């Protein structure tokens, strides 16, 4: 029996992970499941999987969770500290699937026990790549990528030497506004941005796909996880989302990873690595597909990509600032306080303001990361009134 925990169990990635675990219940012992505010869903999952402990994000929800778990034998916890304690319980495999920088510390807590961390939470690598990788190294833990593009790169690199890698191409669907002219983006609403052409994901990452902030985070994720020179990382718009990444080698050969757009493939790969298991995703029919299409990304329409290049150049805390500012700008966009285009404008302003504050420090400590994240969010609120209308 493998002991597993899932941070962010009630979300899109969390539910897909439990879907795979449910297919082979004898193989797993579920230790900790954490959620955000959806008490009923978390309690239902914890009962169904016989978890040892279930934890919600808000301390105020503790009584409700206790009620919902009464008689189940599942321990209840609530609040940030309780999530960190649950995440620190030793397991063989943990899924990091909380959305946002809030996922960083639970991931670090799990890494300190050794074992394997399946990393869906790309924000961890953007905010604190060196810290995360160093913590894994120090504790003999393994990090496996779950983001579909990074799982694809990881798979394409099996058996290869990094010195033979010439380029890494990650694909982008183009998101909800791929076919919108740039002039129309100013009026885009959160509801319009939250519909993805191919993938079924959480609301925040879906809006980030429409703005290409998701792809921007993934550029940085590629740089931090694989240690590839940013000049060798490319984004390619591929509307069908069937090729997830392509790795080019020095001999001119390319390895493309092709698969259905169903996250259970990448989650299942991380769950079963280094083996492969039967995963119940669609089998692709190439003849029926007919053709696959590609286009270059538009960096004028999507400034997030350009900003990610600056962050990869500066490294250090600039990733933390970039992500924190993006998260706060996204909060404001979802609440209807700023327009779609204001998100990138805000993030750029905050990066510029804070770039004078010694961002390019490589070995950031957790305190520095926390502090930079908090400050970036405050700066967003400060620049808000000065945005161009």
Where along the sequence are the contacts to ligand NAD (CB under 6 A)?
A: 8-14, 35-36, 38, 57, 83, 97-99, 102-103, 120-123, 147, 199, 201-202, 204-205, 263
Q: Find out whether 224 is annotated in a ligand binding site.
A: no
Q: Find out whether 202 is annotated in a ligand binding site.
A: yes
Residue with tokens 């807590």: 109
What residues form DSSP beta bridges with 94? 5, 117
What is the token pair recorded at 257?
Answer: 């990873």
Q: Give the separation between CA 66 and CA 76, rounded to whole angstroms.
A: 6
- Which entry of Mg ion, ligand NAD, none binds 121, CB below 5 to 8 A by partner kind? ligand NAD
Of the two residues 6 and 383, which places its CB atom closer to ligand NAD in the complex? 6
Give the list of residues 6+ apart from residue 280 with CB closer than 8 angstroms, or none.
23, 264
> Least distance from C-beta 386 to ligand NAD, angstroms?
28
- Which entry of Mg ion, ligand NAD, none binds 317, CB below 5 to 8 A by partner kind? none
Of the two residues 114 and 202, which places its CB atom closer to ligand NAD in the complex? 202
Of the two residues 184 and 378, which places its CB atom closer to ligand NAD in the complex? 378
> Least distance from C-beta 78 to ligand NAD, angstroms?
11
What is the token pair recorded at 204?
Answer: 């925040």
Q: Find out whether 11 is annotated in a ligand binding site.
A: yes
Q: What is the C-alpha R_g of the chain? A: 20
Of the two residues 48 and 353, which places its CB atom closer to ligand NAD in the complex? 48
- Look at residues 47, 57, 49, 53 and name the one whose alpha carbon lies nearest to residue 8: 57
Q: Find out whether 301 is annotated in a ligand binding site.
A: no
> Least distance from C-beta 244 to Mg ion, angstroms?
8
- Which entry of ligand NAD, Mg ion, none binds 343, CB below 5 to 8 A by partner kind? none
**Alpha carbon distances (Å) from 316 to 46, 208, 310, 358, 368:** 38, 22, 11, 9, 10
Q: Find out whether 290 is annotated in a ligand binding site.
A: no
**Alpha carbon distances (Å) from 363 to 128, 134, 357:** 9, 9, 16
For Mg ion, the nearest residue by Cβ is 147
Q: Find out whether 10 is annotated in a ligand binding site.
A: yes
Q: Is the N-terminal amide bond of 274 cis, ω within 30° of 0?
A: yes
Q: Find out whether 371 is annotated in a ligand binding site.
A: no
Of the two residues 93 and 349, which places its CB atom closer to ligand NAD in the complex? 93
How many CB atoms are located within 10 Å of the residue 292 CB?
15
- Which entry of Mg ion, ligand NAD, none binds 102, CB below 5 to 8 A by partner kind? ligand NAD
- Which entry of ligand NAD, Mg ion, none binds 175, CB below 5 to 8 A by partner kind? none
> Least distance from C-beta 222 to ligand NAD, angstroms?
13
Residue 11: burial class (beta carbons within 10 Å; 0-12, 13-18, 19+): buried
Per DSSP bridges, beta strands 254-258 and 243-249 are antiparallel
Q: Find out whether 318 is annotated in a ligand binding site.
A: no
- Look at residues 236, 259, 232, 227 and name the one whose alpha carbon lies nearest to residue 248: 232
> Least distance from C-beta 50 to Mg ion, angstroms?
31
Q: Give the separation between CA 110 and CA 91, rounded to whole angstroms.
A: 8
Of the two residues 43 and 267, which places its CB atom closer to Mg ion in the complex? 267
> Least distance from C-beta 217 to ligand NAD, angstroms?
7
Of the two residues 17 and 364, which places its CB atom closer to ligand NAD in the complex? 17
Residue with tokens 């879906």: 206
* Residues 49/72, Cβ–Cβ less than 8 Å: no
**Binding residue ranges for 1-deoxy-D-xylulose 5-phosphate:** 122, 148-149, 173, 196, 209, 214-215, 218
**Binding residue ranges:** 10-13, 36-38, 121-123, 147-149, 173, 196, 202, 209, 214-215, 218
**Binding residue ranges for NADPH:** 10-13, 36-38, 121, 123, 202
């Amino acid at each position: 029996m493998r002991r597993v925990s899932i941070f962010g169990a009630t979300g899109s990635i969390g539910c897909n992970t439990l879907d795979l675990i449910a297919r082979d219940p004898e193989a797993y012992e579920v230790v900790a499941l954490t959620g955000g505010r959806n008490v009923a869903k978390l309690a239902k999952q914890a009962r169904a999987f016989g978890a040892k402990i279930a934890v919600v994000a808000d301390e105020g929800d503790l009584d409700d969770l206790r009620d919902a778990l009464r008689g189940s034998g599942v321990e209840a916890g609530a609040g940030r500290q309780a999530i960190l304690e649950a995440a620190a319980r030793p397991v063989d495999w943990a899924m990091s699937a909380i959305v946002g920088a809030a996922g960083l510390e639970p991931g670090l807590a799990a890494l300190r026990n050794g074992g394997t961390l399946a990393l869906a939470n790309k924000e961890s690598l953007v905010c604190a790549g060196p810290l995360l990788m160093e913590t894994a190294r120090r504790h003999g833990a393994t990090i496996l990528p779950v983001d579909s593009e990074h799982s694809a790169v990881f798979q394409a690199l099996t058996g290869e030497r990094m010195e033979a890698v010439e380029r890494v191409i990650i694909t982008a669907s183009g998101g909800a506004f791929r076919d919108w002219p740039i002039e129309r983006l100013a009026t885009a609403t959160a509801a319009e941005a939250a519909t993805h052409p191919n993938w079924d994901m959480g609301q925040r990452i879906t809006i980030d796909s429409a703005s290409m902030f998701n792809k921007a985070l993934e550029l940085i994720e590629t740089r931090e996880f694989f240690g590839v020179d940013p000049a060798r990382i490319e984004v390619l718009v591929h509307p069908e989302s069937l090729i997830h990444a392509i790795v080019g080698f020095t001999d001119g050969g390319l390895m493309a990873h092709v698969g259905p757009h169903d996250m259970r493939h990448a989650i299942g790969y991380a769950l079963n690595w280094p083996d492969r298991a039967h995963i119940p995703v669609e089998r692709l029919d190439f003849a029926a597909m007919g053709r696959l299409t590609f286009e270059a990304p538009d960096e004028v329409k999507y400034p997030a990509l350009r900003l990610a290049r600056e962050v990869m150049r500066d490294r250090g805390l600039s990733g933390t600032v970039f992500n924190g500012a993006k998260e706060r700008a996204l909060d404001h966009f979802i609440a209807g306080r700023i327009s779609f285009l204001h998100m990138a404008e805000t993030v750029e302003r905050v990066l510029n303001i804070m770039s004078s504050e010694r961002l390019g420090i490589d070995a950031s400590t957790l305190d520095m990361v926390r502090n930079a994240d908090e400050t970036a969010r405050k700066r967003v609120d400060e620049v808000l009134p000065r945005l161009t209308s």
